[in-house]
Amino acid sequence: MKGVILAAGKGERLRPLTDDRPKVMLKVANRPIIEYVLENLDPFVDEFIIIVRYEKEKLIDGLGDEFNGKPMTYVDQLPGEGTAKAIESAREQIGDEEFIVANGDIYFEIEGVKELVGAFKREKADAALLVKEFDDLSHFGKVEVRENLVSMVREKPGSVSGYANLGVYIFKPDVFEFLQKTPLSKRGEYEITDTINLMIGDGKRVAYAVYSGYWNDVGRPWNLLELNEYLLKNKLKHSIRGIVEEGATVVPPVEIGEGTVVRSGAYLIGPVKIGRNSRIGPNCFIRPYTSIGDNCHIGNAVEVKNSIIMDNSNAPHLNYVGDSIIGENTNLGAGTITANLRHDKGTIKVEVKGKLEDSGRRKLGAIIGHNVKVGINVSIYPGRKIGSNSFVGPGVIVDRNVPSGSLVVM
Ligand code: TTP
């Protein structure tokens, strides 16, 4: 069976982290999100087809032409937006066998795929989708079922409970007829949920499998922190490949990559993951659920907790980084501090695609893009974004979002 992964989206809700790369290439626990999808589909497929468009070179260069020895073909999305258009793009590559489709920006585990394949076979179905029960389906497609089959999928049904469509499917090649007939939705996209409704209307059998494991749809910045926390809590194995100097404390589980040096006085409480060739300490405090990439520097008198610091970035002197995401090639000046808690203890709201959204989190720090230089003694309010390729001068109080490519001085 072939596996088709949808990775052509613009990932606008994840700006500024997606300013220069596809969302699926953002690293969580130091691995691109799409690699978790590839890994969990791997036992079921013999070839991967990746649908690409936005910043596709970054994806192709980053992943190469095989995964675990299985060929990977990149296919440009046909003109038009939406998941149905993305799947239709694989028409020539799919022969006469059924195939699995997954969004490239979701995290799910292998049990889900097993259940899905099981339901597809058991029901002798024409298609199958993976669902999960949630109390609030406002951000999902609601999957309505009758006995063992899907009767309808409704996009964004409001705050109701029920089965959510998780973005993992099996189709037979006859889906292409329905993909071609799928009309443009009110949102201006060709949506796979509309295709599935067309199939049901035509008498096709659409099965479903209920997934009970962990799942995350990485759409908004704080989803990266949730996924990071889950992966470090549940998947991290204690492993020290670098050097831990005498006088440093490492409380397992901590993964330290080759070439990384943890200097004396550093205090690391796992789960913490650190990539290769990074410099940690002396005298810093790294608290649980922190991922630090390759070639990073976390220096003297720096505290980091529950954060993602991507490759080639530095928090070198007297910094506090809490519940924050720092992109690649970014440098924090000495004394720069992220605030991660409101004094009224309210949940932190973040601007997502021009609208203020409630993250639901009491603690959320800064979201800083790639290639950013932050000067000394900068204070960043909770949930504020600093766009990629920006310069924030010394002493600035970042109380509003900084657009990408800005120069902000006091
Ligand atoms: P979405 O998360 O709905 O869209 P997006 O990735 O563009 O993100 P945003 O809304 O923040 O701009 O996409 C779901 C999945 O489908 C995701 O894996 C990307 C993929 N996709 C495509 O491959 N082509 C498309 O045209 C769209 C809209 C999504």
- Give pLDDT tens digits for 331-369: 999 999 999 999 898 999 999 999 999 999 999 999 999
Checking if the pLDDT of 410 tops 90, the result is no
Quick one: tokens of 396?
Answer: 């600035």
Mean per-residue pLDDT, 159-163: 93
Q: How confident is residue 183, by pLDDT bands cut at 50, 70 and 90?
A: very high
pLDDT > 90: percent of the chain = 96
What mean pLDDT is reported for the chain? 96
Ligand 1 touching residue 305 (CB < 6 A)? no
- Convert the pLDDT of each residue in 378-409 to its tens digit: 999 999 999 999 999 999 999 999 999 999 99
Ligand 1 touching residue 23 (CB < 6 A)? yes
Mean per-residue pLDDT, 287-297: 98
Annotated catalytic residue 139 = no
10 Å Cβ neighbour count for 176?
A: 16
Instruction: Specify the pTM.
Output: 0.96
d(CA 11, CA 106): 12
Ligand 1 touching residue 6 (CB < 6 A)? yes
pLDDT reported for residue 158: 84
3 state DSSP class of 167: strand
Mean per-residue pLDDT, 234-260: 98
Looking at the DSSP bridge assignments, the partners of residue 351 are 356
Pick the catalytic residue from 139, 317, 343, 370.
Answer: 317
Residue 354, sorted as left (phi over 0), alpha (psi -120 to 50) or beta, turns out to be left
d(CA 218, CA 215): 9
Ligand 1 touching residue 66 (CB < 6 A)? no
Q: Among residues 120, 229, 226, which one has the least CA distance to residue 168?
A: 120
- Convert the pLDDT of each residue in 114-144 to its tens digit: 999 999 999 999 999 999 999 999 889 999 9
Mean per-residue pLDDT, 165-186: 96
d(CA 10, CA 18): 8
d(CA 72, CA 323): 35
Checking if the pLDDT of 156 tops 90, the result is no
Q: Which residues contact 84 (CB under 8 A, 6 or more apart)?
A: 179, 182, 189, 190, 191, 192, 194, 195
pLDDT reported for residue 76: 98
Checking if the pLDDT of 155 tops 90, the result is no
Distance 57 CA to ligand 1 centre (A): 17
| Alpha helix segments (H runs only) across 47-109 | 56-63, 83-88
pLDDT reported for residue 345: 83
- Give CA separation, 108 vs 45, 102, 252, 321, in Å: 16, 10, 26, 28
Nearest Cα residue to atom 28 of ligand 1: 82
Checking if the pLDDT of 157 tops 90, the result is no
Q: Among residues 380, 379, 403, which one has the least CA distance to residue 391?
A: 403
Ligand 1 touching residue 105 (CB < 6 A)? yes
Nearest Cα residue to atom 1 of ligand 1: 9
Residue with tokens 């309210």: 346
- Convert the pLDDT of each residue in 27-84 to its tens digit: 999 999 999 999 999 999 999 999 999 999 999 999 999 999 999 999 999 999 999 9
- Convert the pLDDT of each residue in 1-15 to its tens digit: 999 999 999 999 999
Distance 19 CA to ligand 1 centre (A): 15
Q: Among residues 153, 15, 136, which one has the least CA distance to residue 84?
A: 153
Nearest Cα residue to atom 19 of ligand 1: 9
Ligand 1 touching residue 8 (CB < 6 A)? yes
Distance 120 CA to ligand 1 centre (A): 25
